[in-house]
Structures are given as C-alpha cells and as structure tokens.
C-alpha cells in the first residue's frame, strides 16, 4: 500500500469552523521536505503558515488558492511519496471520508486508522423466573435481570400481584433507622419554671407586638395558644384624627408623549447600534492637575474660553492622528480609514441628543477648536443644526462629567467604530514622593469600541496615548 496522506483544513481554536486557502507555496507535483512551508491559510482573525511534517510530494491539489472558505476537516490536497501512481491517488480520494476536525491541527496529515478492537463478550442472558405468583411483566423483567428471589415479597397490587415498585423496593439495601427519641412539643419556659405551649406563628406574633404568652389562655388542642389567641390581644390601629379624610389613591395615568422626528431617529440608530455592533469597553483614568493649571494660563494668554471638553477634543484629535486604525468607519464588510479626525461631540438640545462634528480637529489649534465647539453648541441649543453639521464623523466624545456622573459606557454612533465617554473629575488620594499621602484630580475615561473593525490591542494603545497627552498637556500646543 503506497504511503498517501490527506492534507485537510486544520482547526486553530475552539471557535474556528472554516478557513480560506490563501496561497500554495508549492506547485502540484513538487517535492518538499519536513519543515518546508506548504501554504498560507486565513481564518477570521489570523493568517497562518502550515509546514510539512514529513518528506513527500504535493501529489494532488484539490482546493486552489483564493477560493471559497472550506470547513474544518475538508480535504485540500493529497500528499504522497515520489513515484505514487495517479490510480492510487484517485482511489485514495474516492475512498476519503472527512475525519475529526483536529486531524490536521499542525500540518494536515491524518493519523493511520487504528485497529478495530475485538467486541467484548456478550453478558450472560438473564435466568428465567419460574413462579406461579402473579407478577407484572415489567416487574418480571427487572427480577430476572437482577436475579432477585421474589418469594419473600408481599405484592401490593390487586389480589397480591407483585408490581414493578415492589421489586424496586426489594432491591434497595436495607437501612437501619436512627432513633432520636420523641419530638418535644413546642414550649416556652417562664421565670417561675412553668411551661407555656404555643404554635410557632403565635410566638412570632407575640414577639412582634410585645405580648407576653404567660397571660394568655389557649383555645387550641390541650390548651395550646394559637394565632387567633394572640391576634385577639393585638391593639386595633389608631383612628385618624377627626375631620381628616382617609387616603384614597387615585389612578396614576401616564401622559403620552410620542417621539418627535429627532427622537425617533436617535432611538432607531441607537437600537440598531446596540443590536448590530459587538461593543467592548476599556476603562482608565487620567491625572488632570497639570491640564487644569495649564488651561487657566493658556486661556489668559490666548484670550479664549476653552473648556475641559475642548482640550479633550484637541487631545483626542492628536491621538487619532497617531492611531489611524481607530479613526475609521464601518460600512458593511469594509472599513473606511480617514486621514483627518472629524470628532462628533454629544450635545443636549431642546430636540434631544445631537452630535455635531468638529471637522479636521487634528488641524485646529486650541483657539480654533474652542470657536468651533462654541458655534456648534449655540446652533444645537437654537435648533439650527444642518445636515452638514451632523453628517459623517470618525469618532465621538460624550461628556457627562458636568452632571456629576462618575463613569459610564456610551453606545457607538454608527458608522463610527469608537466613542469616548468622559466622567466627572474627582479628587482622589495618591502617594507622593517620599511615601507621603496627598490628593490629585483624576478624570474617568471609558472607550466603547466596535470589535469588528478595531482589536483590543489597538484600542488599548489609543487610550494609553490619550492618557499620556492629558497628563502632559504641554504637548497639546506642540
């Protein structure tokens, strides 16, 4: 029998179900040696190189490079020794059956079939039960299978017929009961040693209302104090003062306010985003003391009134310029990358939440960003935002810190791939040089990311760069 082996779609990871053969590194009929690269296989997340595990020939290629995705375990090619005939290869392919998904996890070669173990000896047939007693068919089967002697069994069925339950009970091991003695009757012991009998519920009611059980004459069996005996001594609730009408709740009917056009669009987009976008979240905090001090000086020198949010827009824009893999939009099965950062800022307007866009914020200095955000906020509050003010955007910032919100996670604004949620700046204890304890101002940041377009490492690198800019704010004016 010639040495012929299948080369199958390998399985890397528990979630992999299919892969695509990206490139063959050998031509059909070419020889290879152990460790030589055979092909490149792409999965949903990686492109992996597959090396040969033995010397041989790429005898037959069944799946060409760049074709459709193949399920795990599918036959991609046939590997053989030099000199193997085409007839043997054709016979091997005709008789091939897909093996388990793990047959080719490191090279695609399927193991040789193992010898079929000899069948175990059949268990002895049950001994027939010979009896004239009435017994149900199922009970007979169980008794014969277990070899139970049914003579000592007293049948519980009609006319003493032995039932299945009788046989099951007889097969149970005998258990010796542990006798714990008589259960004492519920009782209370008073100061003089006398006993008072009361039900558990009567005791609880008496304790709740501060009623002594010793002074109650029980009306229950053998003089036991019951619930009714205790309730008879509970004082009635005080009557309301004269002239005060009793409280009567009125129906709590809602006021129905239908969605306006803006709220309806916002609801549809956010629902779609939460359903269709696989969110993941990264959280950090940044020291803000240097930025607060620099902002006060810079605003005086530049003659502007830039807010903390304006500085966040500037820092985010510079960060997006360094991390282009986050400055993207997702459209179907494609990712659109942009050269500049168009940052949407979430603004509360009379018509609901809107997200006007600071265009090319990475090219604007602090005076330009402060002027652009102020103009957008004024237009939003006046209800005068236009289509050009809202359309597009490559990233969003939602800041609720001014409302005292410590931390939150925002929903991504499609087709963008990320949004930064900014919480309140808070004074927190910290360790000072020399081991002393002091306080610093920290700002909570949460990055929501679309996992279809941005991986965790890229998002973490983006957040680290942003934190560095906020903690060294002089770089914002470079």
Would you please indicate which residues are annotated as catalytic (active-site) residues? 451
Q: How many CB atoms lie within 10 A of CB 336?
A: 13
Q: How far apart are CA 291 and CA 297, in angstroms?
A: 10
Q: How many CB atoms lie within 10 A of CB 266?
A: 18
Length of the chain: 478
The three-class DSSP label of residue 251 is: coil
Q: How far apart are CA 423 and CA 444, in angstroms?
A: 5
CA angle, residues 141, 145, 149, in degrees to nearest 5: 90
394 and 363 in contact (C-beta within 8 Å)? no
- Written as one string, the DSSP assignment of 210-226 is T--GGG----SGGG-B-
Q: How far apart are CA 211 and CA 341, in angstroms?
A: 76
The most distant pair of C-alpha atoms in the chain lies apart, rounded to whole Å, by 113
Q: How many CB atoms lie within 10 A of CB 464?
A: 13
The three-class DSSP label of residue 331 is: strand
> Residue 364 corresponds to which tokens in the numbers above?
């604007």
Q: How far apart are CA 366 and CA 439, in angstroms?
A: 28
> Residue 280 corresponds to which tokens in the numbers above?
């993941």
**Chain centre to alpha carbon of residue 279:** 10
> Residue 207 corresponds to which tokens in the numbers above?
């304790």
CA angle, residues 466, 467, 470, in degrees to nearest 5: 90
Sign of the alpha-carbon torsion through 49, 59, 68, 65: positive
Instruction: Sort strands 343-345 and 395-399 into parallel, antiparallel or unpaired.
Output: parallel
**Taking the CA of residue 272 as centre, how many other CA atoms within 13 Å lie in the half-sphere pointing to its CB?**
9
Sign of the alpha-carbon torsion through 203, 209, 210, 215: negative
């Amino acid at each position: 029998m010639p040495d012929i082996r299948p080369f199958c779609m390998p399985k890397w990871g528990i979630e992999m179900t299919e892969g695509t053969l990206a490139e063959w590194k050998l031509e059909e009929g070419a020889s290879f040696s152990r460790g030589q690269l055979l092909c490149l296989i792409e999965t949903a997340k990686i492109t992996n190189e597959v090396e040969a595990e033995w010397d041989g020939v790429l005898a037959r290629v069944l799946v060409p490079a760049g074709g459709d995705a193949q399920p795990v375990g599918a036959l991609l090619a046939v590997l053989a020794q030099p000199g193997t005939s085409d007839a043997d290869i054709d016979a091997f392919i005709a008789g091939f059956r897909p093996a388990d998904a793990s047959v080719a996890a490191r090279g695609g070669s399927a193991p040789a079939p193992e010898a079929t173990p000899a069948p175990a000896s059949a268990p002895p047939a049950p001994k027939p039960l010979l009896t004239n007693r009435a017994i149900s068919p199922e009970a007979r089967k169980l008794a014969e299978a277990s070899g139970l002697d049914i003579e000592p069994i007293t049948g519980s069925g009609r006319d003493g017929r032995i039932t299945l339950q009788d046989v099951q009970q007889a097969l149970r091991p005998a258990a010796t009961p542990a006798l714990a003695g008589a259960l004492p009757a519920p009782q209370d012991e008073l100061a003089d040693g006398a006993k008072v009998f009361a039900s558990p519920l009567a005791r609880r009611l008496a304790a709740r209302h501060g009623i002594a059980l010793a002074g109650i004459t029980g009306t229950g069996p053998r003089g036991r104090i019951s619930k009714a005996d205790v309730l008879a001594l509970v004082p009635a609730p005080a009557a309301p003062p004269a002239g005060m009408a009793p409280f009567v709740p009125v129906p709590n009917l809602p006021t129905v306010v239908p969605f306006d056009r803006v709220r309806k669009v916002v609801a549809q987009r956010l629902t779609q985003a939460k359903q269709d976008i696989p969110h993941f979240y990264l959280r950090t905090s940044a020291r803000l003391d240097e930025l607060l001090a620099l902002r006060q000086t810079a605003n005086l020198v530049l003659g502007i009134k830039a807010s903390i949010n304006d500085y966040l827009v500037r820092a985010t824009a510079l960060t997006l310029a360094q991390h282009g893999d986050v400055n993207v939009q997702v459209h179907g099965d494609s990712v659109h990358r942009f050269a500049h950062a168009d940052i949407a800022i979430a603004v509360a307007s009379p018509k609901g939440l809107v997200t006007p866009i600071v265009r090319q914020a990475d090219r604007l200095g602090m005076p330009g960003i402060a002027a652009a955000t102020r103009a957008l906020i004024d237009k939003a509050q006046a209800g005068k935002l236009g289509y050009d003010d809202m359309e597009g955007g490559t990233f969003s910032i939602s800041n609720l810190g001014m409302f005292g919100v410590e931390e939150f996670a925002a929903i991504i604004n499609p087709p963008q791939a990320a949004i930064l949620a900014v919480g309140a700046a808070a004074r927190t204890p910290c360790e000072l040089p020399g081991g002393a304890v002091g306080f610093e101002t920290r700002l909570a940041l949460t990055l929501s990311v679309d996992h279809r377009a941005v991986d965790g490492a890229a998002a973490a690198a983006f957040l680290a760069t942003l934190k560095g800019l906020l903690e060294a704010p002089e770089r914002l004016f470079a």
